[in-house]
Every structure is written in structure tokens, then in C-alpha cells.
């Protein structure tokens, strides 16, 4: 493990424990680094605070990267917390309207185009500018951002985010040129399709994941992930090493084993036209049976019927909520 003892870092972009930024933060903290964190909005403050406290963070502060004043305030607080110096900056910030991550890139409206570039690309420039004096005071530093292949090639449905990543990549190179003379390194990591909360908003993400699984040169990770069974909607596997997907909230749903728990719970309720079927079962002689048998015996005899009915529902993506689903 790399030694980060004595290093001070700021991590931008942690949303929850599935965030790539959080995985990076854990490695840095395990190596001895002291980390400050930001969050964007009250909605995620609690989850980020819990994560920050788990690595004994001295600073958690709100940051809207679209505000120059907000960015300057954050780095002022970081300077106060770390004695006017900073060694590490992790920039894992990106956003595009979900409506622009499906359909055609051509249809992206002007306002949402600039929103994606502002949050996903210019935020690196503003953060690097604010970090520069702190890193210079520390004798140098390292800035890391997150990119993706969609900034180099056209990836279906990645759309405006791909353009934003292209701008991010170019910004990273120019920042590296400007700041290199002060011993400040600027790099980008392309992690490939990783199943984060943000990734789930990209239409066709499971297809992107499947292509990487098929074409990645080393295939060291993908070969440990089972091909089936998988969620019918998001394609996440239900098994695998250490049951990592189940622990992350993507385990197989008990109400519909064709879906993961996350997809089933987030499935839209109402407001859609669907085919509805009602199954009425007349089990001949059951009334007489329950009069002469115990409830346990009657349930045991009826369980095969329930299982057959449940399986028929599941094949059509129905769901069961009755107690017999566990029999």
C-alpha cells in the first residue's frame, strides 16, 4: 500500500459509499492521509458526514462548484484546517441532466449543454486555481480528476457528458502545463464503466458494461463477476466475490428475483398503461382438507400451487407480496 503519511487532501464529489471518490478516499486514508470532504446539497450531507467521520476527517463543508465564491470559501477553510498547505486534490465531480443521457446528442439544449460543461469541466479549472497557492506552499502537490473513454470516442447515450469529458481532458493537460513548474502534477484516471449512482442515469449503461467485459484486454476483474443470474433492468449480477453487489444494495429482490432490490424499489408506481392479469385458483376439496388437517399440513400441500403461480408471475415481471413468497 502507498504511504500517504502526513499528506493532506481535499476530496470533491463523494455522494455515497459507492462513489469512486469514496473508494479513492479510503485508500488515501488507509495510507495515512488526512482528508477534508465537500458535499453538494442537504440531501446527501448526512451520508457524506458519516463517511467523513469514519476516516476522522477534520473538515466537511458544502460546495457548489458553479460558484467561484463558494469554491474560494472552501479552499480558504481547507487552508485553515491544514495550516495553509495542501498536498492532494481529488476532483470527482460531474453532472448532466438525465434527459440528455438518452436519445440524440443533437437535441441537447443550450442551457443544459453549458450546465454539463460548467459542473463537469470548468470546476476542475476553478478548483485547481484555488488549490495552487496551498500546494505551492507545500512544495508541490497532486491533482486527480476522473474521465472516461466517452470524451475520446462517441459512446451511445453518453452524449453531452462525453463532450464535457473531452473538455475536462483538455483542461487537465493545460493545467498540467501551467502548474508543472510549481511541482504540481495534474492527471486524469479513466476508470471505465463503474456502477455508481450517477452511472445508473445513463441509458444503455448495462450494454456499455457488457462491452467492456467482452473487450477489456486483461479481464482480471470481469472474469470474477458471474454472467448470470442478473437483474433484468440494470444487468447487475446477483452473485460474485464477497457478495459485493448485494452488500451495495443490488441484491436479488425477494419480491421479483428477475430484478435487483434497488431496481425493484425504484420502479415507477402508477401512471403507466400495463397489462393486468388476475389468477383465480379453485383448489378442489381444499375446504374439506383444512377441516381435517392442521394449518401447517394444509399449507404444505398448497405450497406447490403457490410456487407455480409465483413463478408464472415472475416470468412476466410481476411481483409477489404475500407471505407465501418465502415458502
Q: Please pick, among 39, 122, 148, 174, the residue that the annotation labels catalytic.
A: 148
Element of type H or E holding 128 = helix 123-137
Spatial contact of 123 and 91, defined as CB atoms under 8 Å apart: yes
Please say whether the beta carbons of 197 and 222 come within 8 A. no
Q: Which three cell numbers stand for residue 106?
A: 443533437
Which residue carries 484546517 as its cell?
Answer: 81
User: In angstroms, what CA-CA distances link 134 with 12, 64, 126, 318?
Assistant: 16, 20, 14, 57
158 is catalytic: yes
- Residue 174 annotated as catalytic: no
Q: From the candidates 39, 122, 158, 286, which is the catalytic residue?
A: 158
Using CB atoms within 10 A of its CB, is residue 230 exposed (0-12), middle (13-18) or buried (19+)? buried
Q: Which segments of the chain does DSSP mark as H helices, in order?
A: 20-30, 42-54, 68-81, 110-117, 123-137, 159-179, 205-215, 244-245, 261-266, 286-292, 295-315
User: Could you give the residue numbers annotated as active site?
Assistant: 148, 158
Amino acid at each position: 500500500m502507498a504511504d500517504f503519511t502526513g499528506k493532506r487532501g481535499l476530496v470533491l464529489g463523494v455522494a455515497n459509499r459507492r462513489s469512486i471518490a469514496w473508494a479513492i478516499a479510503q485508500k488515501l486514508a488507509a495510507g495515512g492521509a488526512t482528508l477534508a470532504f465537500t458535499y453538494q446539497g442537504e440531501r446527501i450531507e448526512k451520508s457524506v458526514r458519516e463517511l467523513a467521520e469514519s476516516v476522522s476527517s477534520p473538515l466537511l463543508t458544502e460546495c457548489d462548484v458553479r460558484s467561484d465564491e463558494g469554491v474560494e470559501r472552501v479552499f480558504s477553510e481547507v487552508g485553515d484546517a491544514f495550516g495553509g498547505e495542501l498536498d492532494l486534490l481529488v476532483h470527482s465531480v460531474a453532472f448532466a441532466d438525465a434527459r440528455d443521457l438518452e436519445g440524440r446528442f443533437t437535441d441537447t439544449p443550450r442551457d443544459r449543454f453549458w450546465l454539463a460543461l460548467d459542473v463537469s469541466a470548468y470546476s476542475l479549472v476553478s478548483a485547481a486555481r484555488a488549490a495552487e497557492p496551498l500546494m505551492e506552499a507545500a512544495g508541490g502537490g497532486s491533482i486527480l480528476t476522473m474521465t472516461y473513454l466517452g470524451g475520446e470516442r462517441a459512446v451511445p447515450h453518453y452524449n453531452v457528458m462525453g463532450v464535457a469529458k473531452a473538455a475536462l481532458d483538455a483542461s487537465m493537460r493545460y493545467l498540467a502545463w501551467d502548474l508543472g513548474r510549481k511541482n504540481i502534477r495534474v492527471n486524469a484516471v479513466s476508470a471505465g464503466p463503474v456502477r455508481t449512482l450517477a452511472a445508473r442515469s445513463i441509458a444503455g449503461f448495462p450494454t456499455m458494461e457488457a462491452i467492456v467485459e467482452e473487450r477489456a484486454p486483461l479481464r482480471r476483474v470481469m472474469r470474477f463477476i458471474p454472467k448470470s443470474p442478473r437483474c433484468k433492468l440494470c444487468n447487475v449480477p446477483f452473485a460474485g466475490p464477497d457478495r459485493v453487489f448485494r452488500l451495495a444494495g443490488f441484491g436479488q429482490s425477494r419480491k421479483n428475483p428477475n430484478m435487483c432490490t434497488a431496481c425493484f424499489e425504484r420502479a415507477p408506481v402508477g401512471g403507466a398503461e400495463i397489462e393486468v392479469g388476475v389468477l383465480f385458483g379453485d383448489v378442489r376439496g381444499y375446504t374439506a382438507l383444512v377441516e381435517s388437517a392442521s394449518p401447517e399440513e394444509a399449507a404444505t400441500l398448497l405450497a406447490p400451487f403457490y410456487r407455480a403461480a409465483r413463478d408464472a408471475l415472475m416470468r412476466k415481471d410481476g411481483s409477489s407480496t404475500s407471505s407465501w413468497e418465502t415458502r
